[in-house]
């Protein structure tokens, strides 16, 4: 992949973030998602690549754009797999809460897992603990391992877990072990990546969430030198069949980071819509000016860039929400 592609992709997440942020707190999640998707798809036309959406807004009959199998980019440049979530956190934006982001992951053609839209068990850690934890280890063992690799006392280890009923027993066990728990609502991409970033103070991400979000997160964690393991959790025979159709014949298999994102390269980009674990949200500064906060990283070089940008919206009419 061209190194310039990383910076081109940031423009795509910025466009989605600015458009959807205009719906923050207005109680209209569908409008927010449509705005993000439309702006992301429009901006993709200028990206120098031959991209195929492998994780997107749904199948062709479910989504008018950014559907699985859609070709995006300007038709030239490298052939790549593209995983997108134009607005991770539609409910977040509708209610005006934290942690909504626009995200994209890119890999060379054939390198991103074609994850079906279902639940996935996930564990993610930073570089210090890479290779030391296992998804099937008891949480008590994992916390001891994290404490050792991160040079912390157990009571200083912080585990981030989604605040859901399905995680109540897990939360109780972490607390009983003596570690710290940080709960989050929606948006597990930012939360899982936070476990691989040193400035967040989060040591471990654990829990069951969306499989597509897991693959997108894996691209970032690969770029950060962290580690991730996962396992698909189909809820019925139909979801089992979807896994098989996508080439995943053994849903009990623990997927390593190299299964989620093959090869030695991947690009991840995200722009904050509302402020959260990973990024600040879009700020409308008055007049036609908006400010965005983004992160972009590449696995091959382990480069991580934080980008703060100003956007003059009167020059970008596709970013403007309709009243």
Quick: pLDDT tens for 4-55: 899 999 999 999 999 999 999 999 999 999 999 999 999 999 999 999 999 9
Determine if residue 57 is labeled as part of a ligand binding site.
yes
101 shares a domain with 128? no
90 shares a domain with 190? no
Determine if residue 119 is labeled as part of a ligand binding site.
yes
Determine if residue 89 is labeled as part of a ligand binding site.
yes
255 shares a domain with 270? no
202 shares a domain with 166? yes
CA distance 186 to 90: 9
Determine if residue 2 is labeled as part of a ligand binding site.
no
Determine if residue 90 is labeled as part of a ligand binding site.
yes
Determine if residue 144 is labeled as part of a ligand binding site.
no
pTM tops 0.85: yes
How many angstroms from the chain centroid is the CA of residue 37? 15
- Number of neighbouring beta carbons within 10 Å of residue 247: 8
270 shares a domain with 225? no
61 shares a domain with 133? no
CA atoms within 13 A on the CB side of 182: 19
Token pair of 119 as six digits: 């639940």
The domain containing residue 295 runs over which residues?
3-111+265-319
93 shares a domain with 131? no
pLDDT tens for residues 181-232?
999 988 889 899 999 998 889 999 999 999 999 999 999 999 999 999 999 9
* Cβ-contact 42, 97 below 8 angstroms: no
Determine if residue 156 is labeled as part of a ligand binding site.
no
- Number of domains, the chain: 2
Determine if residue 306 is labeled as part of a ligand binding site.
no
CATH number for position 164: 3.40.190.90
312 shares a domain with 217? no
pLDDT at 277: 75
66 shares a domain with 170? no
Determine if residue 165 is labeled as part of a ligand binding site.
yes
Determine if residue 213 is labeled as part of a ligand binding site.
yes
CATH number for position 313: 3.30.540.10
Determine if residue 34 is labeled as part of a ligand binding site.
no
């Amino acid at each position: 992949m061209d190194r310039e592609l990383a910076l081109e992709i940031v423009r795509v997440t910025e466009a989605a973030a600015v458009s959807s942020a205009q719906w923050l707190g207005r109680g209209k999640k569908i409008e927010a998602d449509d705005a993000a998707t439309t702006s992301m798809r429009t901006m993709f036309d200028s990206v120098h690549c031959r991209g195929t959406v492998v994780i997107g807004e749904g199948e062709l009959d479910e989504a008018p754009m950014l559907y699985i199998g859609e070709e995006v980019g300007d038709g030239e440049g490298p052939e790549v797999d593209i995983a997108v979530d134009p607005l991770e956190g539609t409910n977040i934006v509708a209610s005006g809460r934290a942690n909504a982001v626009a995200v994209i992951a890119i890999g060379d053609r054939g390198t991103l897992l074609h994850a079906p839209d279902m639940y996935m068990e996930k564990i993610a850690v930073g570089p210090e603990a890479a290779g030391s934890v296992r998804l099937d280890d008891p949480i008590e063992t994992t916390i001891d391992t994290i404490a050792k690799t991160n040079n912390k006392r157990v009571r200083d280890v912080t585990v981030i877990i989604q605040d859901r009923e399905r995680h109540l027993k897990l939360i109780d066990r972490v607390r009983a072990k003596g570690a710290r728990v940080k709960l989050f609502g929606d948006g597990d991409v930012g939360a899982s990546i936070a476990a691989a970033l040193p400035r967040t103070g989060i040591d471990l991400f654990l829990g069951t969430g969306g499989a597509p979000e897991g693959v997108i997160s894996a691209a970032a964690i690969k770029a950060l030198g962290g580690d991730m393991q996962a396992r698909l959790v189909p809820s019925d025979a139909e979801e089992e069949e979807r896994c098989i159709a996508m080439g995943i014949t053994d849903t009990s298999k623990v997927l390593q980071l190299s299964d989620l994102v093959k090869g030695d390269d991947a690009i991840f980009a995200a722009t904050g819509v509302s402020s959260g674990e990973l990024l600040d949200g879009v700020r409308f500064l008055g007049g036609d000016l908006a400010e965005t906060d983004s992160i972009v990283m590449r696995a091959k070089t382990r480069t991580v860039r934080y980008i703060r940008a100003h956007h003059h919206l009167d020059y970008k009419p596709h970013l403007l929400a309709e009243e």
